[in-house]
Amino acid sequence: MAISVNADGYREIIGVFEGMQEDKESWLEFLRHLICRGLSGVRLVVSDKCLGLVEAVSQCFPWAEWQRRVFHFHRNILSKMSREKVSEVAPMLKAIHAQKNREAAKEKAEKVAANLVDMRLRAAA
């Protein structure tokens, strides 16, 4: 499924493909379908880190930025620890993304990583 943010700032479903695979060729087919239907002006693509999708995006929209979904970023970090630690660490991760600017977020991320090392969660750090 592809969701777009229109000029008024509202989200719209712009395409759905059923039963596709996660490989590059399937994503290329889907993105080309969207382009044929008039999709243009893509500046940012936000998704999980499906390698096939990332490659297809860079081929179809070479000028567009790609960003990993925060949800997937957090999920991958939280998967590196026991369930008991998740409730303690999840708010730390959210605090990184709540910062007012990039520099503050980087500083917060460094502090969180150091805290994770202190908690003996080096893989998550």
What are the residue boundaries of the structural domains of the chain, listed by start?
2-68, 70-118
Distance CA 116, CA 80 (A): 11
Please, are residues 30 and 53 in contact by the beta-carbon 8 Å criterion? no
| Model confidence pTM above 0.85 | no
Residue range 42-56, pLDDT digits in tens: 999 998 888 899 999
User: For residue range 85-108, what is the model confidence (pLDDT) as tens digits?
Assistant: 999 999 999 999 899 999 999 999
Q: Is 77 helix (H, G, I), strand (E, B) or coil?
A: helix
